[in-house]
Every structure is written in structure tokens, then in C-alpha cells.
A and B are shown apart, each in its own frame.
Chain A
């Protein structure tokens, strides 16, 4: 069974601060995805990283895939209240299924 460990589980910060969320595994994944989920809704894909060492930027969000394709990080610069939500990483193993981490709940206060 492939497991993904996310840290921290919960993060409460002030608007304007920077933060990093981590997603780690002992298994290699063919790709890794990051989703954001807002209360009462389903997760929505933010980004997919495929190549070891890959870095992708989405406005103030920077995603990195580890060289060995076992871990990933999400860095948010100058967080805003609109960034509040549950951030989930998910690794693609076989048969088009995803293994999800338990998530990081981010709360950004004005």
C-alpha cells in the first residue's frame, strides 16, 4: 500500500505570511497532484507534477516534485484569506487510481 504523509496537519497564519506544506512517501509515484478543497465542496485540481525535480508556479503558489519522485512541497507566498482551505496531495500509482494524503488544513486570517 502506497502512503502519503502530509505535514503539517493544520496551519493557522496571518495574511501576508509565507508557508510551506509537505507531502512525503516511501514509494515512487508516476505523478503527483495537488488539490484544494473548500468547505462543503469537492476537491479541485491545482497542479500535476510529473518529472523529478520539476517546479511549477501558479501565481503565488510554487509546487516542487522531489528528484526521486517520492515527495513534493507546496509553497505559498504572501498568503491571502482566499487561500483558506484543505490542501490535498495525491499520488498516481497504477490503474489510474490516486492515493491521497490526509490533507493540510490552512486558515489565513485577515
Chain B
């Protein structure tokens, strides 16, 4: 099992460009998440999908959109990138929806720079 995979690993964009970050998991998990990690800020939730067919905003959703393509895949789109979106983006998944042990499995991250 590959676990959670993310593409690309690195990306440089110019202000105003758009791009989609891809995430896939092979653990048959119901829930998937997108976070951004900035120095000194920890992990902040952008969007999540509690189950296939649903998506909800997290703490910092502005400037982003998501698509839960199927149970395996959850993509994050930046329509018009801004320098403030320079960050490391992590995708995660979990299987135990609403239970006590909501362990989240993380991908290796996408390092995005917006110039």
C-alpha cells in the first residue's frame, strides 16, 4: 500500500496562475483533508470531505476550492494564486469517522511557492 500520495512534490507559480494539487489514498478511507503548514503556524485545515460526495470548509478556505472526485481522490485548486498561498500543503485521510480514534494519515506534502 502506498498510503496517501500527493502530486506534485514541488511547484512554483506566478501570481494569478491557477493549479490543482492532487491527492489519492489507497486505504479505503471515508474522510479526507487538506491542510497548509506555515512556519510557526502549525497545521491549518483548509477543506475536508467527511465522506464521498460531501465537502466542508475548514479554518482557512478563502482562495481555494476542492473536489472529492471519488472515494480515493481529493483535489485542491488554487484559481488565482497569491504570494500569501506560499506554503507546504498536506493531504490526509482517516477511516474512523466520528469515532474516538480519528488517526489521520498524511501524505508527503506539496511545497508551493507563489512569486
Q: Encode B15-27 as 1/0 by CB contact (under 8 A) with A.
A: 0000000000000
Using C-beta atoms within 8 Å of the partner chain, give the interface range for chain B: 20 to 34
Question: A48–B97 contact, CB under 8 A?
Answer: no
Question: A98–B40 contact, CB under 8 A?
Answer: no
The residues of A that contact B41 with a CB separation of less than 8 Å are 102
Question: B42–A30 contact, CB under 8 A?
Answer: no
Question: B92–A42 contact, CB under 8 A?
Answer: yes
Question: B109–A96 contact, CB under 8 A?
Answer: no
Most B C-beta atoms less than 10 A away, residue of A41, A42, A50, A88: A42
B98 to chain A: closest CB distance in Å?
Answer: 5
CA gap between A92 and B109 in the complex, in Å: 22
- Known contacts being A48-B101, A95-B56, A98-B104, is A42 close to B94, with CB within 8 Å? no
The residues of A that contact B43 with a CB separation of less than 8 Å are 43, 88, 90, 100
CA gap between A44 and B31 in the complex, in Å: 17
Question: B42–A102 contact, CB under 8 A?
Answer: yes
Question: A30–B100 contact, CB under 8 A?
Answer: yes
Question: A92–B42 contact, CB under 8 A?
Answer: no
Question: B44–A96 contact, CB under 8 A?
Answer: no
Question: B101–A41 contact, CB under 8 A?
Answer: no
- Known contacts being A31-B101, A97-B33, A98-B102, is A42 close to B45, with CB within 8 Å? no
Question: A41–B109 contact, CB under 8 A?
Answer: yes
CA gap between A12 and B31 in the complex, in Å: 36
Question: A100–B100 contact, CB under 8 A?
Answer: no
Q: Encode B71-113 as 1/0 by CB contact (under 8 A) with A.
A: 0000000000000000000101010111011111011110000
Q: Give me 26 A-to-B residue pairs in the complex whose CB atoms sit less than 8 angstroms apart, sorted by A's number.
A: A6-B42, A31-B100, A33-B102, A41-B109, A42-B92, A42-B107, A42-B108, A43-B43, A43-B106, A48-B101, A48-B103, A50-B100, A50-B101, A88-B42, A88-B43, A90-B43, A96-B31, A96-B96, A96-B98, A96-B102, A98-B45, A98-B104, A99-B45, A100-B35, A102-B40, A102-B42
